[in-house]
Structure 1
Amino acid sequence: MKKSILLCICLAVTMLMNAQTQDKKWNIGLHGGATQFNGDYSNDFYNTKMPFYGFGGLSVSRYISSHFDVSFLATKGKVGFNSAAGRYSTDITTATINMRFNILGPNSPVRPYLLAGGGAILFDKNLAISSKTVDYAAPSFGGGINFRLSPYVMLNLQETFMYSNKDNRDGVVSGSNDAYLFHSAGLTFNFGKKKDADKDGVADRLDKCPNTPAGVAVDKNGCPLDRDKDGIADYMDACPDIAGIESLKGCPDKDGDGITDAEDRCPDVAGTVAMKGCPDTDGDGVADIDDRCPGTKAGYKVDASGCPMDNDKDGIVNEEDRCPDAAGPAGLKGCPDKDGDGIADIDDHCPDMKGTIANKGCPEITKEEEKRITEIASKIFFETNSAKLKATSLAQLDELAAILKKYENANLSIGGHTDSQGSDEFNIALSQKRTESVKTYLMGKGIMESRISATGFGESQPIADNKTALGRAKNRRVELKTSY
Structure 2
Amino acid sequence: MKHLNSILVAALVFLVVGVANAQDENNPWAIEVGINAVDTFPTGLRDGQNSSDLQNGELFEEYFNVNDHWNILPSVSKLSVGRYIGSGFSFTGVGTINRIEKFGDVPAQEIATDAVDVNGVAVAGSALYSGTELTYYGLDGQITYSLRDLINGPGGWFDPSIGIGGGYTWIDDIGFGTANGIAGVKFWLAENLAFNLQSTYKHAFEDYGVKHFQHSAGVLFKFGGKDTDGDGVYDVNDECPETPGLAQFNGCPDTDLDGIEDRQDACPNTPGVAEFNGCPDTDGDGIADPQDACPTIAGLASMNGCPDADGDGITDADDACPNEAGPKANNGCPWADTDGDGILDKDDKCPNEVGVASNNGCPEAAPQVTVEIIKQLNDYSKTILFDTGKSTIRQESYGVLQNIADIMKEYPDASFLIEGHTDSQGSEATNNKLSNNRAASVRTYLTTIGMSANRLSSIGYGESRPIADNKTKAGRQQNRRVEISLRK
- TM-score normalized by structure 2? 0.50
Indicate the SS of the match to 2:184: strand
1:75 maps to 2:96: yes
1:347-426 to 2 correspondence within 5 Å?
none
Q: Which residue of 2 aligns with 1:133?
A: 174
Q: Which residue of 1 aligns with 2:300?
A: 269
Indicate the SS of the match to 1:205: helix
Q: Which residue of 2 aligns with 1:149?
A: 189
Counterpart code for 2:176: D
Q: CA deviation at 1:309?
A: 5.2
- Contact residue 115 and residue 141 of structure 1 kept, 8 A: yes
CA distance in structure 2 between the aligned counterparts of 1:183 and 1:69, rounded to whole angstroms: 19
What count of residue pairs does the alignment treat as equivalent?
290
Indicate the SS of the match to 1:299: helix
- Contact residue 159 and residue 182 of structure 1 kept, 8 A: yes
Q: CA deviation at 1:34?
A: 2.1
1:310-349 to 2 correspondence within 5 Å?
318=345
CA distance in structure 2 between the aligned counterparts of 1:84 and 1:318, rounded to whole angstroms: 123
Q: Which residue of 2 aligns with 1:113?
A: 161
Q: Which residue of 2 aligns with 1:34?
A: 37
Do the aligned partners of residues 13 and 191 (structure 1) sit closer, same or farther apart at CA in structure 2, a change above 3 Å counting?
closer
1:166 maps to 2:206: yes
Indicate the SS of the match to 2:295: coil
Indicate the SS of the match to 1:178: coil
Indicate the SS of the match to 2:301: coil
Q: CA deviation at 1:98?
A: 0.4
Indicate the SS of the match to 1:219: helix
From 55, 59, 70, the equivalent of 1:52 is: 70
**Farther off after superposition, 259-268 or 96-105:** 259-268
Q: Which residue of 1 aligns with 2:220?
A: 188
Q: CA deviation at 1:29?
A: 0.3
Q: Which residue of 2 aligns with 1:15?
A: 17
Indicate the SS of the match to 1:140: strand
Do the aligned partners of residues 78 and 289 (structure 1) sit closer, same or farther apart at CA in structure 2, a change above 3 Å counting?
farther
- Contact residue 230 and residue 245 of structure 1 kept, 8 A: no
CA distance in structure 2 between the aligned counterparts of 1:288 and 1:241, rounded to whole angstroms: 29
1:157-306 to 2 correspondence within 5 Å?
157-168=197-208, 178-194=210-226, 196-210=227-241, 212=243, 215-217=244-246, 219=248, 221-225=250-254, 227-230=257-260, 232=262, 237-240=268-271, 242-243=273-274, 245=276, 250-252=279-281, 254-255=284-285, 257=287, 259=289, 264-267=295-298, 269-270=300-301, 272=303, 277-279=306-308, 281-283=311-313, 286-287=316-317, 291=321, 293-301=323-331
**Cα RMSD (Å):** 4.1
CA distance in structure 1 between the aligned counterparts of 2:217 and 2:293, rounded to whole angstroms: 62
From 297, 308, 311, the equivalent of 2:335 is: 308
CA distance in structure 2 between the aligned counterparts of 1:264 and 1:12, rounded to whole angstroms: 65
- Contact residue 37 and residue 215 of structure 2 kept, 8 A: yes
- Contact residue 62 and residue 69 of structure 1 kept, 8 A: yes
- Contact residue 306 and residue 316 of structure 2 kept, 8 A: no
- Contact residue 72 and residue 99 of structure 2 kept, 8 A: yes
Gap runs ≥5 in structure 1: 125-131, 169-176, 312-316, 326-484
CA distance in structure 1 between the aligned counterparts of 2:320 and 2:35, rounded to whole angstroms: 85
Gap runs ≥5 in structure 2: 47-52, 112-124, 126-132, 339-343, 353-488
- Contact residue 93 and residue 121 of structure 1 kept, 8 A: yes
Do the aligned partners of residues 290 and 269 (structure 1) sit closer, same or farther apart at CA in structure 2, a change above 3 Å counting?
farther
Do the aligned partners of residues 211 and 256 (structure 1) sit closer, same or farther apart at CA in structure 2, a change above 3 Å counting?
farther
Q: CA deviation at 1:192?
A: 1.5
CA distance in structure 2 between the aligned counterparts of 1:58 and 1:118, rounded to whole angstroms: 16
CA distance in structure 1 between the aligned counterparts of 2:319 and 2:326, rounded to whole angstroms: 14
CA distance in structure 2 between the aligned counterparts of 1:149 and 1:289, rounded to whole angstroms: 70
Q: CA deviation at 1:91?
A: 1.5
Q: CA deviation at 1:187?
A: 0.7
Indicate the SS of the match to 2:141: strand
1:83-102 to 2 correspondence within 5 Å?
83=105, 86-87=110-111, 89-102=133-146
**Farther off after superposition, 182-191 or 284-293:** 284-293
CA deviations over 1:112-164 (Å, ceiling 9, x no partner): 1112111111223xxxxxxx522212x01120011111111011010011122
Q: CA deviation at 1:252?
A: 2.3
Indicate the SS of the match to 1:267: coil
Counterpart code for 1:162: K
Do the aligned partners of residues 122 and 287 (structure 1) sit closer, same or farther apart at CA in structure 2, a change above 3 Å counting?
same
Q: CA deviation at 1:250?
A: 2.0
- TM-score normalized by structure 1? 0.50
CA distance in structure 1 between the aligned counterparts of 2:168 and 2:315, rounded to whole angstroms: 94
Whichever of the two has the greater Rg, that structure is: 1
- Contact residue 11 and residue 93 of structure 2 kept, 8 A: no
Q: CA deviation at 1:25?
A: 2.1
Do the aligned partners of residues 220 and 161 (structure 1) sit closer, same or farther apart at CA in structure 2, a change above 3 Å counting?
farther
